[in-house]
Amino acid sequence: MDTIFALASARGKSGIAVIRLSGPRAHDVLRAVAGDVPPYRQAALRKIVNQAGELLDHGLVIAFAKGASFTGEDVAELMVHGSLATVSAVESCLAQDHGLRLAQAGEFTRRALENGVMDLTQVEGLSDLLDAETESQRRQALRVLDGAIGRLVNGWRAHLLKAAALVEAGIDFVEEDVGNWDDQILAELQSVQNQLQAELAGQGARERVQTGFEIAIIGSVNAGKSTLLNALAGRDAAITSDIAGTTRDVIELRMDIGGFAVTLLDTAGLRHTDEQIESIGIERGQKRAKDADFRLILCDSPNVPPPVDALPGDIVMFSKADLYPNVSGGVSGVTGQGLDALLQRITHELSQRVARDGVTVRRRHQQAMISAQSALAEAIDKLHAQDYIAELLAADIRQTINALDSLIGKIDVEDLLGDIFSSFCIGK
């Protein structure tokens, strides 16, 4: 196994730069450049020198023991001054004087996976954490990185293994009167089935936390949609005008609302028109609004009904609240009246959607659980029929276990690894 190194902090001028080494020679190289290996997990100030004894920098060094490091291997970290010249000199020393290899993108994390320090879902959680832009994304990614999915799958696996053991016992002692365990097997399988269904029920909303929610702003022409969008953006993201039909295409605005990543969609005003371009814009806006997570429907005034029927989750408000100072519940993009209340309503709606207790977040997780659920349903149907071949029942349970093992990366994941690790930085 090669010993690798890479800059673990951001490349470029900085106060401190962290250079990570991992592999069987990491501690020997640390001893060569810093004079000794300090006690594990204790930072020590050392002179960093090259093979000729030339001083490269003064910096802190830390050593981590095999089995107690990020990668599971011997690891050393050099914290030096973050000038381009200093980092370059230390990297040249590691590569030329000591023959270490520069790590590939995500190679440290891949070694952690291969050494059993992390499972595949934790690797995905780390990737999501590095990409997190909002508070909800950070919290969700941190739960996954902490091993929440692995613990969940291990719990399901324990029930399935118990059921499989009872089925296998029936096969091994088929000629002996050892009793009937069908009810116990069924209870174990149904427990997993119920938990799988609950996890799948909230999957869509949790996935949206990572990709971002879409909220379409719809209303009649000159209802103040673009003005409201600009007010929320704090800039002129959309052209506003008293001329009806100014907005002709869907305008997208990405922003953070209450810790959630949200894309607001400003759509063309709803009305009948013979003008071809505007008509296309209205059609496109209606399609995007239909596909959005929910809609913000604006009415022209407190006494005018909404231009479309509200669906569950939609927020209906009257715009131009500045023209109705004595009426509450409206919003105005001109004065900002009601903006805080609107943002609170949006935050509440998004919070409700992700309130289900669950941890899986990716489409791959969903597909693995659906495969497990399908095999599990076959097993349960056989038990309900009370006339089954035990070997086929055992095969269904094994198939369920295999699907869940693929979720956490125990089997059939090699094709996924290249795509996952390519998104990591070199020092991770």
The residue that leads in pLDDT, 295 or 416, is 295
**Does the structure show a pLDDT above 60 at 360?**
yes
Exposed/middle/buried for residue 36 (C-beta within 10 Å: 0-12, 13-18, 19+): exposed
**Does the structure show a pLDDT above 50 at 240?**
no
Strand partners, 45: 60
The residue that leads in pLDDT, 388 or 104, is 104
Please report the pLDDT score of residue 238 as a whole number. Answer: 45
DSSP label at 212?
-
Is CATH 3.20.20.70 what the domain over 125-202+360-409 is classified as, yes or no? no
Q: Which residues contact 402 (CB under 8 A, 6 or more apart)?
A: 411, 412
Give the angle 376-407-367 at the CA atoms, nearest 5°.
65
Q: Residue 14 has which token pair?
A: 């900085």
pLDDT band at 239 (very low <50, low <70, confident <90, very high): very low
pLDDT band at 225 (very low <50, low <70, confident <90, very high): confident
189-217 pLDDT, tens digit each: 999 999 999 999 888 888 889 889 999 88
The residue that leads in pLDDT, 310 or 418, is 310
**Does the structure show a pLDDT above 80 at 359?**
yes
pLDDT band at 246 (very low <50, low <70, confident <90, very high): very low
Please report the pLDDT score of residue 245 as a whole number. Answer: 43
CATH architecture assigned to 210-353: 3-Layer(aba) Sandwich (3.40)
pLDDT band at 104 (very low <50, low <70, confident <90, very high): very high
Q: Residue 420 has which token pair?
A: 């996952």
**Does the structure show a pLDDT above 90 at 156?**
yes
pLDDT band at 304 (very low <50, low <70, confident <90, very high): confident
120-133 pLDDT, tens digit each: 999 999 999 999 99
CA dist., res. 307 & res. 298, Å (int): 8
Counts for the chain of helices (H) and strands (E), in that order: 14, 11
Across 313-332, average pLDDT: 87
How do 44-49 and 75-82 pair as beta strands? unpaired
- As a whole number, the mean pLDDT across the chain is 86
368-406 pLDDT, tens digit each: 999 999 999 999 999 998 878 889 999 999 999 999 999
Across 337-350, average pLDDT: 92
Give the CATH number of domain 4-114. 3.30.1360.120
Cα-only R_g, the chain: 29
Are the C-beta atoms of residues 23 and 69 closer than 8 Å to each other?
Answer: no
Are the C-beta atoms of residues 226 and 236 closer than 8 Å to each other?
Answer: no
**Does the structure show a pLDDT above 50 at 241?**
no
Residue ranges of the domains in the chain? 4-114, 125-202+360-409, 210-353
CA dist., res. 270 & res. 233, Å (int): 23
